[in-house]
Amino acid sequence: MRISVNRSRCEGHGLCTQQAPAVFSLDDNTELNQRFEDTDIPAEYLPAARAAIGACPVAALRERH
């Protein structure tokens, strides 16, 4: 599984980073960084990554296969 980030929707709330800190982080300008942007997310991080998708208040994250 991969996650698409709609950067124009992302407002930098950081809820995804709280749910999946091994997958997401915010830089000093509250820009979202995704550790596995160009590759499948490892299985051990999938539950947290899916929780991050659900936690995003502006629906900037979506699962893709």
Query: What CATH number is attached to the domain comprising 27?
Result: 3.30.70.20
The confidence band for 65, taking pLDDT boundaries of 50, 70 and 90, is confident
Question: pTM score > 0.75 for this model?
Answer: yes
- Tell me which residue range forms the domain holding 12: 2-64
The confidence band for 32, taking pLDDT boundaries of 50, 70 and 90, is very high
Scanning the structure block, which residue is given the tokens 């998708």?
A: 53
Sequence-distant (6+) residues with CB within 8 A of 13 are: 56, 57, 58
Number of domains in the chain: 1
Residue 46's pLDDT is what? 97
